[in-house]
Structure 1
Amino acid sequence: MWPRLFLSRYPGPRRVLYFSIAASAGASAVLVVWTLLLARAIDIGFLRETSVTALFAILGALLLVRGALLWIAERLAQSSSSRLRSEARSDLVDSVIRSGPATIGNERVGEIGSVIGGGIDSLDRYVSAFLPAIALAGMVPIAIFALVAILDPWTALILLFTGPMLIALLAVIGGRTRALAQHRFDELGWLSAFYLDMIRGLPTLKAFGRAHDGADSIEVASKRFGETTMDVLRTAFQTSLVIEWAATAATALVAVQVSFRMIDG
């Protein structure tokens, strides 16, 4: 099931997550206001040589407000994740119990155990970090772009060029990362089932003198899972590199055009 459809089955944790996203959006709005006031303080303090004590007091208060909002957002996101995992695990266990031994006997018990344990736990970062981040990624940049377009249209044109380029690059890398992560999760389920089947068959392997073959099979499967994990991490690091590169390029372009405009007066 698609994770967002899965999340829609649990309205309680979903509402808590919405409050977390709202708190994070509020923290982003406070940061924008703080940046504008900082620019105002620099203008007044250095160019007009006027006292900025009151402005710095406001800036300090805004930092405290932002810190409080971020703390609230983090706590709410963790609460949402914890409640969701608890309810999902309870529902899954109830489903297994209702199915009965006859149905479960046709399934790989190790794979079911992997889903109930590690599979449910893997939702933690998805709910507490990824979903809030993707929601903010759709709201905050648009709001900032609209503000920049009002204050400085030339800078907005540069952002209009670099923004879609960054999104396109991240979409390509993100698609590959998702495919690799799904492959790794499938291998984790298979590996759990394989280990359990191997333990169950250990007496038989020993009886026929093939215990060493089982150990070799476990070693090969473990190495393959490690290689899959490294592929996921390698692709994730590429995503970070692309973000850093695009942010640096956009900042440099904005700085260059602002410098030329300041030189021209």
Structure 2
Amino acid sequence: MLLNHDLLREAGRVRRQLALTVELGLGAGLLAILQAWFLARVVNGVFLEGRDLPGVWPWLLILLGLIFLRAAFAWGMEVAGHRTAARIKYDLRRRLVAHLLALGPVPLKDGHTGELVNVLVEGVEDLETYFAGYLPRLALAALMPMAVLGFVFPLDLFSGLFLLGTAPLLPLFMFLIGGQAERLTSNQWETLGRLSGHFLDVLQGLTTLKIFGRSKAQAEVLARLSDRFRSTTLGVLRVAFLSALVLELAATLGTALVAVSVGLRLLYGRLPFQEALFLLLLAPEFYLPLRLLGSRYHAGLAGVTAAARIFDLLSRPLPAGEGGKAGSAVGQDEVVAPFIAGHPGRATELSEDKKMVAGICLKHGIRSDGESIPGAAGDGGRPAGEKGLLRPGLHIILEDVYYAYDPGNRPALQGLSLELRPGEKVALVGPSGSGKSTVAHLLLRFLEPDRGRITADGHPLDRVPPEDWRRQVSLVPQHPYLFSGTIADNILLGRPHASWEEMVTAASLAGAHEFINALPQGYATPIGERGLRLSGGQARRLAIARAFLKEAPLLILDEATAGLDPATDQIIQTALERLLRGRTSLIIAHRLSAAVRADRIVVLDSGRVIEEGRHEELLARRGLYYRLVTASRGAA
């Protein structure tokens, strides 16, 4: 009965809290039995034995105490149940976010952001009633009727057998409607996911919809999805109300039949009044746990349906190196490189992975937490005005690398070999689908090669935890993502613990300080969601400032100057020249004009390196690069 394996495993993490919830509920049930006994005794004493108030006063005090205690236990059960559910929800949300971050952006491209957010928010929230209501009630539905029968059988065998015979009818009915209810709840969830996803699409594309006059059409689509969600929700509610009606009817009829049986035997003097009244009061208490379980059955079903989506997401395999390996090499020591720098004699005590990461960190003046090491390699020899903002470049080699997004399809990379020398600017060009973005994703560790290997300064990259590796890589994308917050917040993503002076220096080098200073609130200016209050050129300058502040020795540029006016393009080109100086840089050149300034141009086609060299050399060969340049000039 809705005993989902994954949810039970989550319940096992908080078994003590769940046990306390059930114990409080069981205590409230046992107090209800005692309450019924003393109520029967008070009524019997007043009406049959003719006792006055002083004669029944002790029993009344006990009865009032039991009523108060029962209410306290019931309240405690609700509080304990909701606290347990809140702890499970917190843990699940934390694990979901950690898993999504470990998955990275590439595996999530096939999904819909709105549906994903729906799982993270509504899906996890739907587990509240499962853990706070359904699961404790399921335990009480098994325990409390047995406890009631323990009091009924010694007093009246016939009533005990009748209650025992009718009790399975309620769970049987829930089982019979379970399949239909599960289908309806699943449809409701899928409809809500589509509605959430489409609504998010409409909000994000509002400008486009208004320009092309499609806002009314999309409003009609949303109305249809809303109506479908209303229809599926009403279907779920119909089944819920029908099942509640049947369960209440069954419990009421069972209680009525017990009352008739007890009344007849009382009438013929076969059963004392106090015991008859006690049995009559116990009959509703016998059915109560089963009725409460039935009333929470559909809420529990919603939790199970949501759990299927939640654990499907958590079961997605992580890229190699994420999860289990992440943090194993460096994360166990908060700062590996400073440890070696301060205790060189103890370097042999570290694992080979730790020493390898620490060596890379020391060479490029980086702590394992992303901060700079004063006086370490890479801190000197910087151009004036750029102290603290330049490190020597990494030496990257890709050897015979293969990668396929889908195992059955043609690989995106087929035996690709590429070398990025320290401080060299390499531009990747090629037709659409030639593998340029795949190479960038591999270097960012969003993907791992199917075959071949990648090394950094001679060390295999797959032995470096992705989180630690990404501290040594900066990305300046064509469309940088800016978070809702201030300009300072967004620049400091590059290095959260940087000083104010370092942040301003990075902004100045990126050509952003002037426009920031002209704003009324300067660096404290809110930029809105996705930076919509800034122009495209301003957003890219903030992305470049982030890269300056991060001080990573490997830089990846993804068409960072596309679509800009000449004046802004010149500002950003100047900033990029500063940023590229001394760093190993990979330029993803969708426009061939972006590749001209590179030290070396690598031409890709169908996941292979076709040719490489400088701009003039490649033009003279009249190969693929020549044809691409000719085609682009003709298109212009």
Give TM-score scaled by structure 1 length: 0.90
| Partner residue, 2:23 | 22
Distance in 2 (CA, whole Å) between partners of 1:194 and 1:242 is 38
Q: Does 1:120 align with 2:121?
A: no
Distance in 2 (CA, whole Å) between partners of 1:222 and 1:18 is 41
Deviation at 1:60, TM superposition (A): 1.2
Distance in 1 (CA, whole Å) between partners of 2:3 and 2:108 is 24
Distance in 1 (CA, whole Å) between partners of 2:105 and 2:189 is 25
- More contact order relative to length (CA 8 Å, sep ≥ 6): 1
Contact kept? 1:31, 1:66, Cα under 8 Å: yes
CA deviations on 1:85-138 (whole Å, 9 max, x unpaired) are 111111101111111111122221111111111111111122111111111111
| Partner residue, 1:262 | 266
Q: Does 1:228 align with 2:232?
A: yes
Contact kept? 1:109, 1:193, Cα under 8 Å: yes
- Tell me which of 72, 85, 106 is aligned to 1:102: 106
| Partner residue, 1:41 | 42
Q: Secondary structure at the match of 2:14?
A: helix
CA deviations on 1:28-79 (whole Å, 9 max, x unpaired) are 0111111112222323332223422211111111112212211211111111
Deviation at 1:12, TM superposition (A): 4.8
Distance in 2 (CA, whole Å) between partners of 1:253 and 1:10 is 38
Whichever residue aligns with residue 9 of structure 1, its letter is: E
| Partner residue, 1:162 | 166
Structure 1 range deviating more: 189-198 or 19-28: 189-198
Q: Does 1:6 align with 2:10?
A: no
Contact kept? 1:14, 1:80, Cα under 8 Å: no
CA deviations on 1:202-223 (whole Å, 9 max, x unpaired) are 5555555443322221111110
- Sort the Cα spacing of 1:192 and 1:251 in 2 relative to 1 into closer, same or farther, 3 A: same
Contact kept? 1:13, 1:81, Cα under 8 Å: no
Distance in 2 (CA, whole Å) between partners of 1:5 and 1:149 is 39
Deviation at 1:3, TM superposition (A): 4.4
Q: Does 1:139 align with 2:140?
A: no
| Partner residue, 1:73 | 77
Q: Secondary structure at the match of 1:103?
A: coil
Structure 1 range deviating more: 225-234 or 40-49: 40-49
- Sort the Cα spacing of 1:218 and 1:2 in 2 relative to 1 into closer, same or farther, 3 A: farther
Contact kept? 2:199, 2:222, Cα under 8 Å: yes
Aligned identity (percent) is: 34
Distance in 1 (CA, whole Å) between partners of 2:152 and 2:182 is 33
CA deviations on 1:188-213 (whole Å, 9 max, x unpaired) are 12222222234445555555544332
Contact kept? 1:170, 1:242, Cα under 8 Å: no
Deviation at 1:13, TM superposition (A): 3.4
Structure 1 range deviating more: 121-130 or 36-45: 36-45
Structure 1 range deviating more: 217-226 or 152-161: 152-161
Q: What does 1:169-180 align with in structure 2 at a 5 Å threshold?
A: 169-180=173-184
Distance in 1 (CA, whole Å) between partners of 2:114 and 2:170 is 41
- Tell me which of 246, 252, 255 is aligned to 2:250: 246
- Sort the Cα spacing of 1:10 and 1:235 in 2 relative to 1 into closer, same or farther, 3 A: closer
Structure 1 range deviating more: 1-10 or 114-123: 1-10
Contact kept? 1:8, 1:14, Cα under 8 Å: no
Structure 1 range deviating more: 173-182 or 110-119: 173-182
Whichever residue aligns with residue 24 of structure 1, its letter is: G
Distance in 1 (CA, whole Å) between partners of 2:108 and 2:169 is 49
In terms of Rg, which structure is larger? 2
Distance in 2 (CA, whole Å) between partners of 1:97 and 1:177 is 35
Give 1 or 2: higher helix fraction: 1
Q: What does 1:193-208 align with in structure 2 at a 5 Å threshold?
A: 193-206=197-210, 208=212
RMSD of the alignment, in Å?
2.2
| Partner residue, 1:130 | 134
Q: Secondary structure at the match of 2:192?
A: helix
Structure 1 range deviating more: 206-215 or 80-89: 206-215
Contact kept? 1:173, 1:238, Cα under 8 Å: no
Deviation at 1:241, TM superposition (A): 0.7
Deviation at 1:231, TM superposition (A): 1.0
- Sort the Cα spacing of 1:187 and 1:232 in 2 relative to 1 into closer, same or farther, 3 A: same
Contact kept? 1:27, 1:66, Cα under 8 Å: yes
Q: Does 1:89 align with 2:93?
A: yes
Whichever residue aligns with residue 24 of structure 2, its letter is: A
Whichever residue aligns with residue 70 of structure 1, its letter is: A
Contact kept? 2:11, 2:18, Cα under 8 Å: no
Contact kept? 2:25, 2:74, Cα under 8 Å: yes
Which consecutive residues of structure 2, in runs of 5 or more, have no partner in the other structure? 270-636
Q: Secondary structure at the match of 2:105?
A: helix
Contact kept? 1:7, 1:14, Cα under 8 Å: no
Whichever residue aligns with residue 166 of structure 1, its letter is: L
Q: Secondary structure at the match of 2:10?
A: coil
Aligned residues: 265
Whichever residue aligns with residue 5 of structure 1, its letter is: D
Contact kept? 1:181, 1:232, Cα under 8 Å: yes
- Sort the Cα spacing of 1:4 and 1:22 in 2 relative to 1 into closer, same or farther, 3 A: farther
Give 1 or 2: higher strand fraction: 2
Structure 1 range deviating more: 137-146 or 206-215: 206-215
